[in-house]
Structure 1
């Protein structure tokens, strides 16, 4: 089996995929890219014409977009138990909230961060409706716990947990006790800690 090749930058959403790869626990190759130079090289544009990270190549397949990479890895390595079993009710829950995080949640947070205002009466035109509705819906979904699919930690938690963690850190998502407890719980996972160490060590090496 060919090792996945992972293209990333330590100051990017690639950290989410790095965490996912560590959860998978199989060998992979990391290609570190820099903004404006190697990320825009002809070699990398052949992988991702948008010239952005992360991206993953594996056994002839190219996957871009962070949520898609997480979903691909969970599906490709089901024995790692990062996706609910086929035909299990939690499978639908998994897809629902993984793509809720990649769609409504990310757009709602982006709109709030950039002070984009949805014109009055036009909420139906945007996928998130409103920031408050999105955050309230997420809190309700996480309330049963301990993970978004109940007792099973999945790739949806990797993606959602990273989004929530960044939002709480930078103040773009309001602090709520349930959010803080969820992020603290999943950030303590060995794979999350290891992925963070790898990225921080690389950042330090660039400065030395």
Structure 2
């Protein structure tokens, strides 16, 4: 399953059901475009979002960007998301709220079965892990070392919420450095930013 690691400098989140964002995503110059099935999609629209993936993938990829799909965490939703998202046009799945290597391996088994069913090369679909709970921190190196793993982000609003802290650069610094060390050790891409993504005043 050895494969060159991506060298993405910029990743753009796009809600898969938002026509306004889909129409312009390929013009934004991002190295990878993340079609979101998770936080930006209401629970009542999850099935609709999965059905929209097939048409959305080639649209956002038309200028050469790689396509990533962020799936949902609950296993029943993740199984359905994987069935819809694992296709030759999708380079990676973004896995939210990863808790450990066993979690990653379970999802990897599902992805392998889907790749085989479609006649795809096993290992085509890479993983990007979002570590959003302090309970997952002891597993960072094991998660980063999983064969499909291409990148990792540690911290964010969910991490801060569990800690009862503000999602600031100061409160997230140590966790971000832990993620950076684990990612560099495994030879994968460290991702993310410290603080709130919603705070764009200082961009």
Question: Which structure is richer in relative contact order (CA contacts within 8 A, separation 6 or more)?
Answer: 1
Counting strand residues as a fraction of each chain, which structure ranks higher? 2
Counting helix residues as a fraction of each chain, which structure ranks higher? 1
Regarding TM over 0.5, the answer is no
Query: TM-score, normalization: structure 1?
Result: 0.29
Query: Which protein is bigger by CA-based radius of gyration?
Result: 1
